[in-house]
Amino acid sequence: MLCSEQKPMDEILSYLDGENKVFLVGCGGCAEGCETGGEAQVREMKQKLEEAGKKATGTTVIDTLCNEALVRMRLKPLNERIQAADSVLVMTCGIGTQVVAGVVNRVTHPGCNTISLGGGHAEWLESQYCLECGDCVLEYTGGICPIARCSKHLLNGPCGGSQRGNCEVHPDIPCGWQLIYDRLAALGRLDKLELVRPPKNWSVSLISGPPPRR
């Protein structure tokens, strides 16, 4: 189980600045257990967004958002509503947010931060990436985590060793920042890379700096 907490509402609304329509996705697994992204929380978020002048084109809660095959199957019938939205707000851990971002052709906003339990949780597939940093940055990186996908956990772009889209650590490892650039380019949102962000707040994690790669 991965524990999560909802991001502050003003932060979520800042993600949606300039957008009028949003599709909401919740998780019936860990997020429901944490009361951050289950049925009740998705309904509550929909109401808050509507009070803020946003329109929800639809909502859904999928049993386990970390299951890519399940997410693809459950979202396919909802594609028309998803495409009618300016973006998708995902209320779950970083893994589920990244899975949804990889499935939908829309900007995907994280609605939660994943809280580190210091390894006190079940295991997940190697292809799923979340290091529970406690302050999710997926909003700015196209739904691809630079902490987990970059071998050096760089938050400010690729290192000088990145060559032809591959990591200098091993040629079989794709450069995390190349993946981020390609995703944002495909979404027409390279402007997100121009945003100046303050240093990451590692105090919200059980670790004091970038964690070792798993």
Q: What is the pLDDT of residues 121-167, one digit of tens each?
A: 544 444 557 888 899 999 999 999 999 899 898 999 999 998 889 99
The CA dihedral of 75, 72, 105, 200, to the nearest 10 degrees, is: 100
SS3 55: strand
Residue 19: pLDDT over 60: yes
Cα radius of gyration (the chain): 16
Phi and psi at residue 25, to the nearest 5°: -125, 130
Residue 11 domain boundaries:
3-141
Asked, for residue 152, whether it belongs to a domain, the answer is no
SS3 45: helix
Q: What pLDDT was estimated at residue 118? A: 56
Report the range of poorest mean pLDDT among 37-41, 125-129, 189-193, 201-205: 125-129
* Banded model confidence at residue 213, pLDDT cuts 50, 70, 90: very low
Residue 35: pLDDT over 50: yes
Asked, for residue 61, whether it belongs to a domain, the answer is yes
Measured CA to CA, the distance from residue 177 to residue 179 in angstroms comes to 5
Asked, for residue 206, whether it belongs to a domain, the answer is no
Measured CA to CA, the distance from residue 137 to residue 109 in angstroms comes to 10
The CA dihedral of 122, 30, 150, 99, to the nearest 10 degrees, is: 120
Q: What pLDDT was estimated at residue 184? A: 97
Edge-to-edge strands, sheet with 107-110 = 55-62, 21-27, 87-91, 107-110
How far apart, in Å, are the Cα atoms of 8 and each of 28, 96, 111, 147?
A: 21, 19, 9, 22
Measured CA to CA, the distance from residue 104 to residue 164 in angstroms comes to 26
CA 81 to chain CA centroid, Å, is 20
Asked, for residue 102, whether it belongs to a domain, the answer is yes
Asked, for residue 56, whether it belongs to a domain, the answer is yes
Residue 207: pLDDT over 90: no
Asked, for residue 198, whether it belongs to a domain, the answer is no
Residue 172: pLDDT over 60: yes
Q: What CATH number does residue 127 fall under?
A: 3.40.50.11860
Asked, for residue 150, whether it belongs to a domain, the answer is no
Asked, for residue 38, whether it belongs to a domain, the answer is yes
* Banded model confidence at residue 32, pLDDT cuts 50, 70, 90: very high
Residue 89: pLDDT over 70: yes
Q: For the chain, what is the domain count?
A: 1
Residue 212: pLDDT over 50: no
pLDDT tens column, 95-123: 999 999 999 999 999 999 998 665 555 44
SS3 207: coil
